[in-house]
C-alpha cells in the first residue's frame, strides 16, 4: 500500500499534486477481468491492505473462497477484512510460507506489497508461491519513495522491482504503465479454465484500458508481453 505525497501526470501538459492512500488504479480493470477469466475456487491476497483485491474477487469470482494475509493488524479491523475474506492472517508473508508449507491456491494476488520486503525475501516468496498456485498476479510500483506511515515501518519501500527481476521464471507476461509494473506468472498448479497464451491474447485483443492516477483518464490499452524460457521437453501445462 502506498500512502504518500507524489507528483503524478494528470495530462500530457500538466502535473498535479495529490495525496494517494491505497494502491494506484492503473491496472484495476485488467486485474478484475483476469480474475473472472481465471475463475478461481480458492485465492490468496497477500498484503490485503484495504481489501481492494478481495472486492475484485467478490465481484469477478463470487464463488471463490478468499484468504488474506495482512501484516498490519490495525488494517484488519479498520477495513473490515474479516467480513470480506473467509480467513485472514495478520502476519508477514515472508514468514507465512515457511510456517505453512502445505497451503495451495488457484490464484495468488500480491498488489502493491512486494516493495515492502527486502529483495531476497521477495524473491524467496515468489519462488515458493510458484509451487503453490496456478496463477500469481503481481503489481508493484517503481520510483516512489516511502518511509514509515503512522508509525508502521512495514510501509517502508525497501526494494525495487521491474521486469528484469522475473527472468528466473520460465513462463510469464508483463506490462508497465505510470510507474506500475504488472506481472502474471504461470504457476505449477493446474489451470483447467485458462492457459497463458489465451490469457495474453484475450487481454491484447480486448484492448483493456489502463487508467491514469486519478482513476478517470485512460492511458492506453494494456499490452501484455509474453516471456518464455522453454525446455527441450514441455514438463508443465501452459
Res. 7 pLDDT band, cuts 50 70 90: very low
Name the one residue in this structure whose C-alpha cell is 489451470.
Answer: 191
Q: In this model, does residue 119 exceed pLDDT 70?
A: yes
The pLDDT of residue 14 is 30
**Can you give the CATH number for the domain in which 87 is found?**
3.40.50.150
Record the pTM. 0.87
The pLDDT of residue 148 is 64
Tell whether 11 is covered by a domain: no
pLDDT in tens, 51-87: 999 999 999 999 999 999 998 888 898 888 999 999 9
The pLDDT of residue 11 is 37
Query: What does R_g of the chain's alpha carbons equal in angstroms?
Result: 17
Q: Please tell me which residue, 158 or 188, carries the higher pLDDT value.
A: 188
Query: Which of 55, 56, 57, 87 has the alpha carbon at shortest distance from 70?
Result: 87
Question: Cα–Cα distances in Å, from 158 out to 14, 24, 145?
Answer: 30, 18, 9
Query: Which of 65, 53, 56, 132 has the alpha carbon at shortest distance from 96?
Result: 132
pLDDT in tens, 33-47: 999 999 999 999 999
Tell whether 29 is covered by a domain: yes
Q: In this model, does residue 151 exceed pLDDT 70?
A: no
Tell whether 167 is covered by a domain: yes
- CA–CA dist 128, 46 (Å, integer): 13
pLDDT in tens, 206-216: 999 999 999 99
Q: How many domains does the chain have?
A: 1
CB atoms within 10 A of CB 228: 13
Tell whether 30 is covered by a domain: yes
CB atoms within 10 A of CB 144: 16
3-state secondary structure of 74: helix
In percent, how much of the chain has pLDDT > 70? 87
Tell whether 5 is covered by a domain: no
Give the single-character DSSP code of 180. Answer: E
Q: In this model, does residue 176 exceed pLDDT 90?
A: yes
- CA–CA dist 106, 67 (Å, integer): 11
Q: The domain containing residue 118 runs over which residues?
A: 23-228
Tell whether 4 is covered by a domain: no
Res. 17 pLDDT band, cuts 50 70 90: very low
In percent, how much of the chain has pLDDT > 90? 65
Mean model confidence pLDDT for the chain: 87
The pLDDT of residue 78 is 87
Q: Report residue 121: phi and psi, to 5°.
A: -70, -40
Q: In this model, does residue 238 exceed pLDDT 90?
A: yes
Q: In this model, does residue 9 exceed pLDDT 50?
A: no
Q: Please tell me which residue, 122 or 6, carries the higher pLDDT value.
A: 122
Tell whether 3 is covered by a domain: no
List the single range of 2-6, 99-103, 127-131 with lowest mean pLDDT. 2-6
The pLDDT of residue 75 is 83
Amino acid at each position: 500500500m502506498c500512502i504518500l505525497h507524489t507528483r503524478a501526470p494528470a495530462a500530457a501538459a500538466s502535473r498535479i499534486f495529490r495525496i494517494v492512500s491505497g494502491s494506484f488504479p492503473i491496472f484495476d480493470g485488467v486485474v478484475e477481468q483476469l480474475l473472472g477469466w481465471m475463475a478461481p475456487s480458492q485465492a490468496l491476497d497477500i498484503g490485503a491492505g484495504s481489501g481492494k483485491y478481495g472486492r475484485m474477487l467478490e465481484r469477478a469470482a463470487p464463488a471463490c473462497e478468499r484468504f488474506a494475509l495482512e501484516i498490519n493488524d490495525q488494517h484488519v479491523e479498520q477495513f473490515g477484512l474479516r467480513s470480506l475474506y473467509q480467513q485472514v492472517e495478520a502476519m508477514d508473508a515472508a514468514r507465512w510460507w515457511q510456517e505453512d508449507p502445505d497451503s495451495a491456491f488457484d490464484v495468488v494476488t500480491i498488489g502493491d506489497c512486494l516493495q515492502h520486503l527486502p529483495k531476497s525475501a521477495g524473491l524467496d516468496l515468489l519462488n515458493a508461491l510458484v509451487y503453490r498456485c496456478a496463477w500469481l498476479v503481481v503489481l508493484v510500483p517503481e520510483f516512489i519513495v516511502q518511509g514509515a506511515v503512522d508509525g508502521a515501518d512495514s510501509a517502508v519501500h525497501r526494494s525495487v522491482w521491474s521486469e528484469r527481476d522475473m527472468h528466473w521464471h520460465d513462463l510469464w507476461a508483463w506490462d508497465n504503465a505510470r510507474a506500475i509494473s504488472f506481472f502474471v506468472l504461470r504457476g505449477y498448479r493446474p489451470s483447467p479454465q485458462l492457459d497463458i497464451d489465451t490469457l495474453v491474447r484475450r487481454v491484447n485483443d480486448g484492448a483493456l484500458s489502463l487508467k491514469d492516477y486519478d482513476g478517470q483518464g485512460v492511458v492506453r490499452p494494456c499490452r501484455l508481453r509474453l516471456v518464455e524460457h522453454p525446455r527441450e521437453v514441455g514438463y508443465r501445462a501452459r
